[in-house]
Structure 1
Amino acid sequence: MTDETVDQLGGALGDLHRLLRRAATQRVGRTALPDAQVEVLRLVQRWPGIGVREAAERLGTAPNTISTLVGELTAAGLLHRERDPADRRTVRLELTDAARERMAAYGRHRCDLLGAALAGLDDPDRAALLAAAPALRRLADRMAGHG
């Protein structure tokens, strides 16, 4: 492993993310949400009922930043805030049906686009990329502090 190969991996992952996001958003026919809002939605999707403070910790940002994003997403009808019955000072976050539908549609388009691109590769490249998926997930989790 060299700095150059690590840099190539990072660059390829960044390019792939950007290209998939742009193409899938165009297919859905909606204006893309800011990355920070998408991060909050994806976090709430993975951790339904997460609180603002924990969301901030997991995303490595200030609680007031998350509160602002939650306010924007709530106003857009994508997040629902509910008081924790055990601690009324704590707010629990849940996706709305509209958010679930939007994320599912985006996910379907992203999967279709990625599947078509993978189908265009030769068998060894496709197999190598698919085999790397679990390791990439572990890498992402480790970098996020969850692994």
Structure 2
Amino acid sequence: MSAQPRSDVPLPRPTGEAPDARLLTEAVTRLRRVLRSSIRTDYPWETLPMAQVELLQVLGEHSPARISDLATRRRLAQSTVSGLIGQMMTAGLVARDVDPADRRASVVTLTDAGREKLAAWTIAHERRIDVALAALDDDSRAAITHALPALFQLAEQLGESAEGEAEQ
């Protein structure tokens, strides 16, 4: 079963031309919106706010971590991250401990429940995306596969640009 192109989806530019920033922004925005809403439609048990999911993801890769490190990685205010961590502690997803390297500071780690929640969230999202990818034609799937390295590079570039602006 192959998905038919929709009339409101813009046609790609010829190869070699720079992508239109407005269209890329629109595509990313649509993807984020539909992923957020579809996970709750397809998996109604999933109620974790996206900001908490993103912190769980960071902790899944960089744990234990200080609140300041989490705030820097997610580009959020420390007070925002501290509030989210408080909610996640109440839910049993993370624990706060004394930093062994600096007893004046604290570090946050995932609990077993946090690891399980993150794994379930990841599996649900991957399953949802796998189903959508399977509905696309081979050329569309290949285009997405080939675009992934460039999208990661773009994210890295945007992150570096944001860091440079923050330092000025």
Range into which the TM-score falls when normalised by the shorter chain: 0.7 to 0.9
SS in 1 for 2:97: strand
TM-score, length-normalised on structure 2? 0.76
1:78 aligns with 2:100: no
Which whole-Å deviations, capped at 9, do the CAs of 1:80-127 have from their partners, x for residues lacking one? 112111211121111111121112112112111111111111111110
Aligned residue type for 1:32: T
Farther off after superposition, 20-29 or 83-92: 20-29
Q: Runs (4+) of structure 1 moved beyond 6 Å? A: none
Q: Distance in 2 between matches of 1:85 and 1:118?
A: 45
Q: How far off is 1:18 after superposition?
A: 2.1
Farther off after superposition, 11-20 or 31-40: 31-40
Structure 2 equivalent of residue 28 of structure 1: 43
SS in 1 for 2:85: helix
Identify, as 1 or 2, the structure richer in helix: 1
Structure 2 equivalent of residue 137 of structure 1: 152
Maintained 8 Å contact 1:77/1:99: yes
**How many residues end up aligned between the 2 structures?**
144
Cα RMSD (Å): 2.0
Structure 1 equivalent of residue 84 of structure 2: 69
Larger radius of gyration: 2
Q: 1:131 to 1:30 in 2, by over 3 A?
A: same
Maintained 8 Å contact 1:58/1:144: no
Unaligned 5+ segments in structure 2 are: 1-17, 164-168
Structure 1 equivalent of residue 26 of structure 2: 11
Aligned residue type for 2:108: L
Q: Distance in 2 between matches of 1:117 and 1:85?
A: 45
Aligned-pair identity in percent equals 37
Q: 1:77 to 1:144 in 2, by over 3 A?
A: farther
Q: How far off is 1:31 after superposition?
A: 4.6
Structure 2 equivalent of residue 126 of structure 1: 141
Q: Distance in 2 between matches of 1:31 and 1:116?
A: 18
Maintained 8 Å contact 1:28/1:106: no
